Amino acid sequence: MSRLGKLRVAVIGAGAAGLCAARHLLSRPETFAAPVVYELTKHVGGTWVYEEKVGCYDNGLPIQSSMYRDLRTNIPKEVMSFPDFPFEERLPSFVHHTEVRKYLDNYCNHFGVRDHIKFETMVDHVKPVKMKGGWNGMAWDVTTSDGIDHSKATTDRFDAVLVCNGHFFDPYIPAISGLGKFTGTLMHSHDYRSAEPFTGKSVVVLGAGLSGLDIAMELSNINAQVILSHGQRPLACPLPRGVQQAPPVTKVLDDGTLEFRDGTKANPDVFLFCTGYNFTFPFLDKQVGLKVRDHLVFPLYKFLMPPAYPSLFIVGVCRAICPFPHFHIQSQFILSVLDGTFALPSREEMEKDIERDTASRRAQGVATRHILKIDSEQWAYNDELARLGGFQPLPRYWHSLYESNKVFRARDMLNYKNYNYTVLSETDWKVQDGQGQMLQNPLP
Ligand SMILES: Cc1cc2nc3c(=O)[nH]c(=O)nc-3n(C[C@H](O)[C@H](O)[C@H](O)COP(=O)(O)OP(=O)(O)OC[C@H]3O[C@@H](n4cnc5c(N)ncnc54)[C@H](O)[C@@H]3O)c2cc1C
Ligand SMILES: NC(=O)c1ccc[n+]([C@@H]2O[C@H](COP(=O)([O-])OP(=O)(O)OC[C@H]3O[C@@H](n4cnc5c(N)ncnc54)[C@H](OP(=O)(O)O)[C@@H]3O)[C@@H](O)[C@H]2O)c1
Ligand SMILES: *[C@@H]1O[C@H](CO)[C@@H](O)[C@H](O)[C@H]1NC(C)=O
Ligand SMILES: *[C@@H]1O[C@H](CO)[C@@H](O)[C@H](O)[C@H]1NC(C)=O
């Protein structure tokens, strides 16, 4: 791992993940040159930069953000934040999305990241090259353009690349037979902005992830008739007024009628897909061999780097996680890999580790599309990375507060965002409901 001078690192994207990566790289000037952060838009914040329009920006590039007008966070600010940068005290636990954007702007300024961002710059190609004396014997050529005129491209060389391009912008639309025969309005939650246009309409919402649930609630408030169609066990908690459940839509009949798995039918005005997103890394050279299949990105050691190219890091591919703290932990682990604090195993050992991990998930009955949903395992993952990288783990209340919020959400999706949490110590916290009643911690 011999090398000359400081390590040069490129960061793709200035959303929460890219800002966090840059913040940590900047904290270690003795080892790392100031990073170069490439950002397609004029803004930092990614997902949290609300755009009323759908489709494309004035410059013709597709709108990335899937944010909608009235969205509030679904994770209390006490554990949604980066651990080294709390949200403002005056704010309630569940904030409007505009507050998250301000928060990320403040984080960016506080840690001096802004000067290192190249705005309105699109990464078109990331290619590994052999280089004597480079980190692990190699380097990366990163080609960028203004995103519109790709002929004005420039290429720069780096020791490592951190991919932080987000993964909630390319709509996933399941293959449903006869879909083209549907005559009503077909849309995906990526293009949903507010409920008013649906007033008085009948809507089939497909998918009961957090988008499906939250949007069904918004539609209920304006008296739309909603069928929430999904493949999970029927939800047991109180549902919003006017919302019924149904099994998944399995086909569209010749006359445009939707048929559910149990044979029942519906003819809604709108068929709204809340079916999630595809991962996409269009700029990665094929040679890297990173594959995406059925919502799984592989092979990635510790869900981060391809064993054959351990100076490439795909940040934040795990799902059902607490994103900002996850980025905080992954970023520091990446630094520990690059500076050698964590001695990287051999390629073969990393490949075996991935196989073992995947096999054990499959043995528990986890479907391929859910392998990256690490959910409650995120806490062990975070702690392991902190131990391997030799840095501070998350404070201990993080885990129990976050998991308790999940319980409250499952019990009472209509009201859990009105609760306020207070952290009392490294281990303790308390919570009040919307009426100011103290609630019992739901977990042992
Ligand atoms: C509707 C919705 C609600 C959510 N609610 C919550 C919540 O309540 N709490 C929570 O913690 N998380 C929430 N999330 C998750 C959210 O995605 C994360 O909080 C976080 O914003 C992810 O950050 P990111 O940096 O990975 O991606 P993004 O925020 O998507 O940022 C990626 C950045 O990369 C840039 N980029 C992409 N491709 C290129 C390229 N080729 N070249 C240059 N730049 C590029 C994009 O312009 C963008 O700025 C929500 C997500 C969605 C979609
Ligand atoms: N702050 C908020 O309140 C808020 C609101 C919305 C979204 N978010 C965040 O935004 C991110 C994306 O959430 P998301 O809900 O858009 O995506 P998601 O979490 O990927 O959920 C998509 C859902 O669609 C289901 N689905 C896919 N194909 C289906 C089919 N053919 N039939 C029935 N169901 C199908 C999936 O079920 P399977 O898993 O079984 O495939 C899954 O439950 C998450 O991080 C979420 O936390 C936050
Ligand atoms: C993305 O989603 C579409 C369906 O919307 C699917 O057909 C396609 O194969 C997906 N792409 C990848 C790379 O998974
Ligand atoms: C929650 O906290 C906010 C900010 O401190 C406050 O304005 C709000 O009234 C609180 N809500 C409840 C139910 O206590």
Q: Which domains does the chain have, with CATH numbers?
A: 9-169+278-389 (3.50.50.60), 179-273 (3.50.50.60), 397-439 (no CATH)
Q: Which helix (H) or strand (E) holds 347?
A: helix 347-363
The closest-lying atom of ligand 2 relative to the alpha carbon of residue 417 is: 3
Structure tokens at 48: 């949290």
Is residue 219 within 8 Å of 203, Cβ to Cβ?
yes
Strand 185-188 relative to strand 420-423, pairing: unpaired
Whether 409 shows a pLDDT value over 90: the answer reads yes
| pLDDT for res 327 | 99
Q: Which residues contact 97 (CB under 8 A, 6 or more apart)?
A: 48, 50, 67, 71, 72, 73
Checking if the pLDDT of 3 tops 90, the result is no
**Pairwise CA distance, residues 33 & 227, whole Å:** 54
Cα angle 281, 283, 289 (rounded to 5 degrees) comes to: 65
Q: Which residues line ligand 3 (CB under 6 A)?
A: 172-173, 278, 292
How many other β-carbons are positioned within 10 Å of the β-carbon of residue 384? 14
Tell me if residue 385 falls in helix, strand or coil.
Answer: helix
- Does the beta carbon of 12 sit less than 6 angstroms from any atom of ligand 1? yes
Query: What is the distance in A from the centroid of ligand 3 to the CA of 167?
Result: 13
Place of tokens 């690490």: 374
pLDDT of residue 4: 58
What are the strands of the beta sheet with 36-38, ordered from one edge?
117-118, 36-38, 9-12, 160-163, 312-314
- The finding on whether 76 has its CB within 6 A of some atom of ligand 1 is no
Q: What is the whole-number distance in angstroms between the Cα of residue 276 and the centre of ligand 2?
A: 5
Q: How far apart are CA 161 and CA 310, in angstroms?
A: 10
Q: What is the mean pLDDT of the chain?
A: 97
Give the mutation target among 23, 43, 44, 47 for probing the ligand 1 site: most ligand atoms within 8 A of CB. 47
| 407, 351 contact by CB (below 8 A) | no
Q: What is the pLDDT of residues 59-71, one digit of tens each?
A: 899 999 999 999 9
Closest ligand by atom to 165 CA: 1
Pocket test for ligand 4, best of 420, 435, 437, 439 (most atoms within 8 A of CB): 420
pLDDT band at residue 150 under the 50/70/90 scheme: confident
Q: Which atom of ligand 3 is nearest to the CA of 175?
A: 4
Kindly indicate the confidence band of residue 94, based on its pLDDT and cuts at 50, 70 and 90.
very high
Q: Give me the percent of the chain exceeding a pLDDT of 70.
A: 99
Best of 278, 286, 291 for a ligand 3 pocket test (most atoms within 8 Å of beta carbon):
278
Look at ligand 1, atom 4, and give the residue with the nearest C-alpha.
Answer: 73
Element (H, E) at 245: strand 243-246
With bands split at pLDDT 50, 70 and 90, how would you rate the model's confidence at 2?
Answer: very low
